[in-house]
Amino acid sequence: MKSFVTGAAVTLGLLLAPLAGSTLASAAPAPDSTTSPAAHQPTAEARQHGITKAGEAFMGWRQPTTAAGPAVMAPTATVEGIDVSSHQGNVDWAAQWNAGKRFAYSKATEGNYYSNPYFAQQYNGSYNVGMIRGAYHFATPNDSSGANQANYFVDRGGAWSRDGRTLPGALDIEYNPYGATCYGLSASAMVSWIRDFLNTYKSRTGRDAVIYTNLDWWSRCTGNSTAFNATNPLWVARYASAPGTLPGGWPYHTIWQYSSTPIDQDRFNGDQTRLVALANG
């Protein structure tokens, strides 16, 4: 299921059986929390990035301030994509397609208290113009178990179907916009939480979820754990000319978020056939 630029093949999950389920998402349920509980008051830094209340966190809201290490060459065979959240509202998917975007991830959920009210338009709209699409979950590990949040995600848009157009769900695990950077967890507790989420997601969908993170946060909050580099595709965030040193001993990245201008920009590490292979499992 993983993508490569060259033929160094570590192929995962090729024998997955097709899963039942509709191709398109139904209308997203209303957010599960209409007010921001005290535990989810955005920090001053988060507010500077436009996160004003619970549920508004998004991929790459904060970029690392430490050096990302020596550069790793960017791949030559790539597919362009974007990721979106409620901040983008209803997306003009025809315009994104005309701009050359061929895949998209949409935020479905956050923690165990929020679902994106624009998710159906974003998830279905990208599909309807011909893109390969996926859903992501913004994790808040201090709120509930990994299993609880994985189930919450799957039940609200994070499921997978083997239609060749749906990517495995992504776990967005990064800086906490509501408090302590590592959500008050030790490195070992964070690794356990991530494992709980991933195991539950796989038991529900048959797929290994993609992990979105960056070198700085992963090193600080998991001790640069290598526990997942053989099973879960890496979506690395680094706004630079190359992906840089990868976290967690991953030998390669599958997706690279390289810019947030004018919208989060992503690059798949492989050609279109490898992107379809990732969708198919």
Q: What is the phi-psi region of residue 91: left when phi exceeds 0, alpha when psi lies from -120 to 50, beta otherwise?
A: beta
Other CB atoms within 10 A of residue 147 CB: 17
Q: State the sign of the Cα–Cα–Cα–Cα dihedral 197, 203, 204, 206.
A: positive
Q: Is 266 a catalytic residue?
A: no
Q: Which entry of 172, 216, 264, 266 is annotated as an active-site residue? A: 172
Other CB atoms within 10 A of residue 273 CB: 10
Q: Which entry of 110, 174, 216, 264 is annotated as an active-site residue? A: 174
Crossing angle (nearest 10°) for helices 187-205 and 146-153:
40
* Residue 26 tokens, joined: 């139904």
Q: Which entry of 56, 83, 208, 264 is annotated as an active-site residue? A: 83
Q: Is 174 a catalytic residue?
A: yes
DSSP state, residue 105: E
3-state secondary structure of 251: coil
Phi first, then psi, for residue 112 (nearest 5°) are -130, 35
Q: Is 172 a catalytic residue?
A: yes
Other CB atoms within 10 A of residue 242 CB: 15
Place of tokens 């389920």: 21
Q: State the sign of the Cα–Cα–Cα–Cα dihedral 29, 195, 81, 243.
A: positive
Indicate which residues carry an active-site annotation.
83, 172, 174
